[in-house]
Homo-oligomer: A and B are copies of this chain.
Amino acid sequence: MNPLSSPLLTDHYQLMMLQSYLEQHMEETAVFELFVRKLAPGRNFMVAAGLEQALDFLENIRFSPEELAWLAPRFAPSLIAYLEQFRFDGDVHAMPEGSLFFPDEPILRITATLPQAQLVESRIMNLMHFETLIASKAARSVLVAPDKFLVDFGMRRAHGAEAALLAARASYLAGFSGTATVLAGAVYGIPLFGTLAHSYIQAHEDEATAFEQFAHCHPDNVILLIDTYDTEAAAAKVVALGRKLLACGIHVKGVRLDSGDLATHARQVRQILNEGGLEKTTIFASGNLDEYRLRALLSSATSPAAPIDGFGIGTALDVSSDAPSLDCAYKLQEYAGKARRKRSEGKATWPGRKQVYRKYNSADGSMAGDIVALAENDSHDGEPLIVPVMQAGRRINESTPLNEIRRRTLENYTRLPKPMTTLEVVTAYPVEISTSLRALAKHLDEVQSLDAI
């Protein structure tokens, strides 16, 4: 049973509920929406991602004979028979990947029979929560260092295999330049980076030999790690090597710093390289970086910005270190033609099928405010952000190439109000709930209050 595709990667209660729904013949149409309740601390907006993987999951979900055999002694025969035939044949509406969104705005709507829409909940959330989390984290580094080369270095501390692979995808989608994770190159065509580790230097008898051997082995990709023993001493060795290599037509493309005070080392190394005639050799930095450290390194407030050309961002990106989860939910908004509303304390939802309209300032095209409205008979000015993406279980359009999504995300950033592109939390972006939607919620509260008596 492969966790990446097994429908058993779900919560136990889904199967318990399914058995009960089938016994009660509750198979009418249900509408669930996925949304974020509130922004993660420090964030001004979120970047939608993971739709592609969610649609793959919906198109391919099947129970194998092995899985059915495992379930058989644990659930009613009627449920097993149902799962044997299980296909998702519902409709999906969503914001395209790379869309910027805010709390209470659905990014996905699933319309299907109640058992179908219920069963897919856990994995749909698992996929879209994670990629949205990482894309939203990556966006911050991209906005803080827009002219720099940013590479995902996080595989080793990502939470498992799928997280490593999808973090590379989500961060590239959000504007990173590439990743160190080879599989992400093979699967998604994301540009790959990374040359050598400290162990390579240590395994050689001396650092200079290690540098030279590497350069001859990879003449087109000479980016040397120079902090294993003494960073500035190593930079001097790079200069000496640079002269030798020039005779063979090899250029030292770059050096990498991975420890210590990166700004100070970068300045000293830049000077050593320049004085040694290696003005074109770039400086790449890594080691416990995140968007805050990028901002500090690139700030020219008190001293000139550190002369660093690119950054490898690892753990902080792949685990979204300052906010490793989002307060997201997948909630039943309608069943059998009637809108539904959960009213649990602090967790009440806006009922019904919804659309989000976005207005832009005519002067500069920047985002001016959103309206969350009912999907039908409640139209508003602005761009409707939620579009149909799957009908009767099949994708409506071919998948958008990842580079195209990335381009669109970068374009979306240009429409953010300027203060929202910083790491400071600004006044919340205006998201209005339409009058019709408020009226529906109020009506449902009154009906449900009667039930509670």
Contact = CB atoms under 8 A, between A and B. Distances in A.
Given A181-B9, A332-B199, A67 B156 contact: no
Contacts of A20: 196, 200, 213-214, 217-218
Which of A6, A163, A258, A336 neighbours the largest number of chain B CB atoms within 10 Å of its CB? A163
Interface in A285-331: 315, 319-321, 324-326, 328, 330-331
Contacts of A337: none
Contact of A9 (B122, B129, B164, B336): B164
A227 B345 contact: yes
A182 interface: yes
Interface residues of A, number: 108
Nearest to A197: B13
A203 B335 CA distance: 6
A197 B186 CA distance: 39
A161 interface: yes
B157 A326 contact: yes
Interface stretch (A22-30, A267-275, A361-369, A385-393): A22-30
Interface in A144-179: 153, 155-166
A99 interface: no
Interface in A109-145: 114, 118, 121-123, 125-127, 129-130, 133
Interface stretch (A187-195, A246-254, A419-427): A187-195
A214 to B, nearest CB: 6
A325 B321 contact: yes
A439 interface: no
A163 to B, nearest CB: 4
Contacts of A65: none
B345 A8 contact: no
A260 B4 contact: no
B165 A159 contact: no
A244 interface: no
A127 B158 CA distance: 9
Interface in A192-234: 192-200, 202-204, 206-207, 213-214, 217-218, 221, 227-230, 233
A207 B451 contact: yes
A15 B319 CA distance: 24
A17 B196 contact: yes
A160 to B, nearest CB: 3
Given A9-B164, A17-B196, A343 B228 contact: yes
Contacts of A221: 16
Nearest to A151: B12
A165 B198 contact: no
Nearest to A199: B332
28 contacts: A1-B187, A3-B183, A10-B181, A12-B192, A15-B182, A16-B194, A16-B195, A16-B196, A16-B221, A17-B200, A20-B200, A20-B213, A26-B204, A118-B199, A121-B197, A126-B155, A130-B159, A157-B326, A159-B163, A161-B162, A163-B163, A202-B341, A229-B452, A230-B452, A259-B344, A260-B346, A320-B324, A324-B324
